[in-house]
C-alpha cells in the first residue's frame, strides 16, 4: 500500500514536468531564445536579454547540447559586458570557452577572446588584457582571410602604445590598415580602419612625425560620420591631437579651429554617453533587484530547512542551558552583596582615574594645538623670508650682497629645520608618526642635504667628502623625507660644532635580497669628539648632545640628534656612536629599503623644462606678501597670474574669468580655503586646485582627506616643488580628458 502511494505521488509530480519539458525543450526553440536575447541586447534591454539567455541555458543543459550551452554562456557574458560587470562577464565567458574547447569551435573562441581583450583594454586592465590577447593571436592564425583575424593585431598595437613601444605599435597598425584596405569593405572593416588610422596617427605624433600624423588624422575625418556615436568620440580625439600638433607648430589659428571642433564633438559625445550611462544604471538596478530577490527567497528557504533539522537538538540544548542558568543564578545571588560593596569602591576609583585621564588628554590636545599654531605662525613669515631671498639671489646681486643673502637664506632654512624637529618630536611622543613608502633617490637626497649646509661648511672652513656605494640602485622604496631629515641633522651637527674639520659621509650596501637592500649610513668628523661619560646623553629624549669645547667646557648640540634617534625608531632602526676625545666622532645606522620592481616608471629629476606658456593661475592668499611672492615665482616661468586676498574674491572672479588652476591658501579669515573649495565644487566647477598651507604636510593631508583637490604643498617650499606639482596636475588633467 505504501509503495503504491509513493508511486502515485511520483507520477503526479513528475508527469507535468516531463510534459512541460517535452513541449518546450528542442533545439530550434533554444536557438530562437538566444536570437531574441541578442536582439534585446542590441536594444540595450539588458534585463530581458538576460532572462532569455538564462532560459536558453537551462534548456540547453537539459538537452546536454554543448554547443548551445556554450552559446548561451557567451550571450550572458556579452550582456554583463555591456553592463560593465567585469567579473560576471568574464566568469560566463570562461564557461563558454570551456565548452567551445570541447567542441573545438575556434571561430567562437576568437570572438570571445577579442571581446574580453577589447573590454579590458578600454578599462586599463593591461596585464589581464595581454593574457587574453595572446590566446586570441593563436586562434587568429587559422582564419587569416577574415576580419576577426586582424582584430588581435589592432589590440596588440594599442597595448604597445601603453608600453611606449611605438615602433612595434606602428607595425601593428600598418598591418591592420593594409588588411582593411585590401579586403572587401563592410561595416566592421570601416570601424576597424577608422580606429587603425587614428592610432597610426597618434603613434606617428608620439614619434615626432607630425606631418605624417596629420595625414592619417585627415583620413579619419574623411571617413567618419558625425552622426555615429563612436565616430563622435573618435573625431573629438583626432581634433584634440591636431590642436596639440598645431600648438607645437605655433599655428594659433589652426589650433583654435581644431579646439572648436574638439569641443563640438566632445560635448555631443558626452551628452550621448550620459544618456546611455543613465539608462544602463536603471537597467542594471532592475537586474540587481531581481537577482537579489531570488537570493533572498533561496536563503529564506535554506534557513527554514536548517531550522527544522536542528529544532530537536536546539530544544535539548536550551533545557540544559536553563538548568545551568538556574545554578549560576544561585551562585550569583550569594556573591551579589559582596560585589555591591566592591563596586562602590571601584566606581569611586574609576571616577578619579577618568578625571585624571581627561585632564591628561586635555593637556595633550592643548599641546598638539599649540605646536600646530606655532608651526603655522612661524612658517608663514618664513615662506616670505626664504622665498624673497631666493628671488633676490636669482637677480645676480653684488658679491657682498650675495653673501648676506645666502646667510639670510641659511638662517631661515635652519630655523625651519628646528621647527620641523620640534613638531616631529611632538608627533613621535603622541604616536602619530608613521613611515611611508615612496621612491627614494639617495644620490639626489644627499646632494640636496649637502647644498642645505653648504653655507655653514664655508663659514666654518670645513669640507665634506661623500662616497656612495656604486652597487646601490638609483631608485629604492622608503621614506625619502625622513632619510633626508636624518642626514641633514647629522651633517649639520658635524659641520656646526667643528671648525676646519673634514666631514665624511659614507653609504654602503651591507646585504641584498630579492626584494630589499640593507644600507649602512655613516657620518664621521675629525673634530673634538665626545667624552665617554657623556655619550649616553645624545640618545636620551629631550636631552642635548655634548661635545668638548676649546675651553674644556661643553657645547649644546640642540635637538638634532634627538630627532635623528626618534626618526630612526619610526624607521625600525637605531643610531650608534663611536667617538674618541680629540679625534672626532662617527654616527652610523642601518636601514632596510625596498627595491623598485621592473616596469615602474622613475621620476624625472634634474634640469627639468616646464612649458607653462599661456597658463593662467589664480592665487588666493590673504597675506599680501606671500601672494606677491607666489606670483613672482610663477612669473619666472611665464605664467599669467591673478592674485586675490579672500575666498569671497576668488568666488567672484572665477564666475567672470576662467583659469587653468587655482593656488588656494588654507587659513583665511571669514571664508577659509576649504570652505571656498567646497563652494567652488558645489557650483560644478572641476578646475584643479592645489592647496598652499603653512601647516606641516601630514597634518594638512589629514584635514583635506575628503576634499576634492589636486595636491597640497607646505610653505615654505622650493620653487621647483611648486613647478613639479603644477606640471603634474596640468598633465594629469590633459590625460583624463583624453
Band of pLDDT at residue 604, cut at 50, 70 and 90: very low
Neighbours of 105 (CB within 10 A): 18
Q: Which of 17-31, 86-100, 248-262, 523-537 has the lowest mean pLDDT?
A: 17-31
3-state secondary structure string across 530-579: CCHHHHHHHHCCCCCCEEECCCCCEEECCCHHHHHHHHHHHCCCCCEEEE
Residue-level pLDDT at 422: 66
Looking at residue 708, what is its pLDDT? 79
pLDDT of residue 324: 87
User: What's the burial of 127, exposed, middle or buried (CB within 10 Å: 0-12/13-18/19+)?
Assistant: exposed
Asked if the bond preceding 716 is cis, omega within 30° of 0, the reply is yes
Distance CA 693, CA 707 (A): 14
d(CA 563, CA 559): 6
Render the burial of 499-509: b for 16+ CB within 10 Å, e for the rest: eebebbbbbbe
User: Which H helix or E strand runs over 521?
Assistant: strand 516-525
| Alpha-carbon gap, residue 451 to 207, rounded angstroms | 38
Pairing of strands 584-595, 516-525: antiparallel
Q: Which of 97 and 374 is assigned the larger pLDDT?
A: 97
Distance of alpha carbon 245 from alpha carbon 218, whole angstroms: 13
What is the pLDDT at residue 465? 93
User: How many Å apart are CA 506 and CA 514, to the nearest integer?
Assistant: 24
- 650-677 in b/e form (b: 16+ CB < 10 A) is bbeebeeeebbbbbbbbbbeebbbbebb
The percentage of residues in the chain with a pLDDT greater than 70, rounded to a whole number, is 76
Q: How far apart are CA 67 and CA 103, in angstroms?
A: 7
Q: How far is CA 681 from the centre of its chain?
A: 21
Domains recognised in the chain with CATH numbers: 1-104 (1.25.40.10), 430-595 (3.30.565.10), 616-737 (3.40.50.2300)
**Which tens digits make up the pLDDT trace of 20-31?**
444 446 788 888
Contact 207, 246 (CB under 8 A): no
Q: What gap in Å lies between CA 488 and CA 647, rounded to an integer?
A: 38
Grid coordinates representing 297 are: 527567497
Interval 105-120: pLDDT, tens: 877 888 888 888 888 8
Q: What is the pLDDT of residue 721?
A: 81
Q: Tell me if residue 224 falls in helix, strand or coil.
A: coil
Confidence of residue 312 (pLDDT cuts 50, 70, 90): low
Alpha-carbon dihedral angle through residues 539, 544, 545, 549, given to the nearest 10 degrees: -160
Average pLDDT on 669-698 reads 85
What integer pLDDT is reported at residue 381 of this predicted model? 77
Taking only the tens place, the pLDDT of each residue in 408-458 is: 766 776 676 666 666 666 655 555 667 778 888 899 889 988 888 888 888
pLDDT value of residue 21: 45
CA 680 to chain centre: 24
pLDDT of residue 60: 81
Determine the Cα–Cα distance for residues 282 and 44; give it in Å rounded to an integer.
Answer: 11
CB of 438 closer than 8 Å to CB of 479 = yes
Q: What pLDDT, on the 0 to 100 scale, is given for residue 193?
A: 84
Amino acid at each position: 500500500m505504501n509503495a503504491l502511494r509513493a508511486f502515485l505521488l511520483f507520477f503526479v509530480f513528475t508527469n507535468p514536468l516531463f510534459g512541460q519539458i517535452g513541449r518546450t525543450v528542442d533545439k530550434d526553440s533554444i536557438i530562437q531564445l538566444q536570437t531574441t536575447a541578442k536582439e534585446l541586447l542590441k536594444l540595450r534591454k539588458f534585463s530581458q536579454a538576460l532572462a532569455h539567455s538564462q532560459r536558453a541555458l537551462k534548456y540547453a543543459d537539459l538537452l546536454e547540447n554543448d554547443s548551445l550551452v556554450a552559446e548561451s554562456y557567451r550571450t550572458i557574458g556579452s550582456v554583463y559586458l555591456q553592463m560593465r560587470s567585469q567579473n560576471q562577464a568574464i566568469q560566463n565567458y570562461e564557461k563558454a570557452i570551456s565548452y567551445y574547447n570541447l567542441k573545438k569551435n575556434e571561430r567562437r573562441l576568437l570572438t570571445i577572446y577579442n571581446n574580453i581583450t577589447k573590454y579590458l583594454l578600454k578599462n586599463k586592465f593591461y596585464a589581464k588584457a595581454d593574457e587574453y590577447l595572446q590566446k586570441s593571436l593563436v586562434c587568429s592564425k587559422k582564419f587569416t582571410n577574415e576580419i576577426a583575424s586582424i582584430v588581435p593585431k589592432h589590440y596588440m598595437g594599442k597595448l604597445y602604445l601603453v608600453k611606449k613601444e611605438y615602433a612595434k605599435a606602428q607595425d601593428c597598425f600598418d598591418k591592420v590598415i593594409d588588411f582593411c584596405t585590401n579586403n572587401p569593405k563592410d561595416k566592421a572593416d570601416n570601424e576597424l580602419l577608422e580606429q587603425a588610422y587614428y592610432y597610426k596617427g597618434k603613434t606617428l605624433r608620439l614619434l615626432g612625425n607630425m606631418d605624417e600624423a596629420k595625414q592619417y588624422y585627415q583620413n579619419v575625418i574623411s571617413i567618419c560620420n558625425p552622426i555615429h556615436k563612436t565616430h563622435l568620440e573618435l573625431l573629438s580625439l583626432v581634433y584634440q591631437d591636431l590642436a596639440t600638433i598645431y600648438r607645437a607648430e605655433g599655428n594659433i589659428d589652426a589650433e583654435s579651429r581644431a579646439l572648436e571642433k574638439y569641443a563640438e564633438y566632445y560635448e555631443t559625445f558626452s551628452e550621448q554617453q550620459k544618456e546611455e550611462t543613465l539608462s544602463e544604471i536603471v537597467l542594471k538596478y532592475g537586474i540587481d533587484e531581481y537577482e537579489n530577490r531570488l537570493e533572498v527567497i533561496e536563503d529564506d528557504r535554506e534557513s527554514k530547512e536548517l531550522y527544522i533539522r536542528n529544532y530537536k537538538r536546539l530544544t535539548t540544548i536550551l533545557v540544559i542551558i536553563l538548568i545551568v542558568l538556574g545554578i549560576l543564578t544561585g551562585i550569583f545571588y550569594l556573591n551579589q552583596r559582596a560585589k555591591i560593596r566592591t563596586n562602590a569602591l571601584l566606581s569611586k576609583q574609576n571616577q578619579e582615574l577618568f578625571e585624571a585621564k581627561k585632564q591628561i588628554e586635555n593637556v595633550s590636545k592643548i599641546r598638539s594645538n599649540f605646536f600646530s599654531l606655532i608651526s603655522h605662525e612661524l612658517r608663514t613669515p618664513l615662506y616670505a623670508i626664504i622665498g624673497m631671498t631666493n628671488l633676490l639671489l636669482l637677480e645676480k646681486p653684488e658679491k657682498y650682497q650675495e653673501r648676506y643673502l645666502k646667510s639670510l637664506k641659511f638662517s631661515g632654512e635652519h630655523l625651519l629645520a628646528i621647527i620641523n624637529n620640534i613638531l616631529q618630536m611632538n608627533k613621535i611622543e603622541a604616536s602619530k608618526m608613521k613611515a611611508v613608502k615612496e621612491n627614494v633617490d639617495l644620490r639626489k637626497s644627499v646632494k640636496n642635504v649637502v647644498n642645505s649646509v653648504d653655507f655653514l661648511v664655508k663659514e666654518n672652513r670645513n669640507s665634506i667628502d661623500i662616497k656612495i656605494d656604486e652597487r646601490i640602485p638609483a631608485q629604492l622604496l622608503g621614506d625619502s623625507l625622513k632619510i633626508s631629515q636624518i642626514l641633514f641633522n647629522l651633517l649639520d651637527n658635524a659641520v656646526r660644532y667643528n671648525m676646519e674639520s673634514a666631514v665624511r659621509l659614507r653609504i654602503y650596501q651591507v646585504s641584498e635580497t630579492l626584494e630589499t637592500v640593507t644600507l649602512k649610513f655613516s657620518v664621521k668628523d675629525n673634530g673634538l669628539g665626545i667624552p665617554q661619560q657623556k655619550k649616553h646623553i645624545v640618545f636620551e629624549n629631550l636631552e642635548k648632545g655634548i661635545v668638548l669645547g676649546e675651553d674644556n667646557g661643553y657645547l649644546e648640540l640642540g635637538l638634532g640628534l634627538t630627532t635623528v634617534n626618534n626618526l630612526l625608531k619610526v624607521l625600525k632602526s637605531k643610531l650608534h656612536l663611536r667617538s674618541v676625545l680629540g679625534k672626532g666622532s662617527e654616527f652610523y645606522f642601518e636601514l632596510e629599503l625596498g627595491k623598485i620592481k621592473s616596469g615602474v616608471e622613475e621620476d624625472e629629476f634634474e634640469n627639468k623644462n616646464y612649458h607653462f606658456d599661456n597658463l593662467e593661475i589664480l592665487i588666493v592668499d590673504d597675506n599680501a606678501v606671500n601672494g606677491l611672492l607666489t606670483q613672482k615665482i610663477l612669473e619666472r616661468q611665464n605664467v599669467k597670474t591673478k592674485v586675490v586676498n579672500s575666498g569671497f574674491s576668488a568666488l567672484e572672479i572665477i564666475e567672470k574669468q576662467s583659469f587653468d588652476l587655482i593656488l588656494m591658501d588654507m587659513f583665511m579669515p571669514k571664508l577659509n580655503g576649504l570652505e571656498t573649495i567646497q563652494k567652488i565644487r558645489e557650483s560644478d566647477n572641476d578646475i584643479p586646485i592645489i592647496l598652499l598651507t603653512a601647516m606641516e604636510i601630514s597634518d594638512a593631508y589629514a584635514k583635506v582627506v575628503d576634499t576634492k583637490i589636486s595636491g597640497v604643498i607646505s610653505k615654505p617650499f622650493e620653487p621647483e616643488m611648486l613647478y613639479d606639482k603644477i606640471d603634474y596636475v596640468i598633465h594629469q588633467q590633459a590625460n583624463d580628458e583624453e
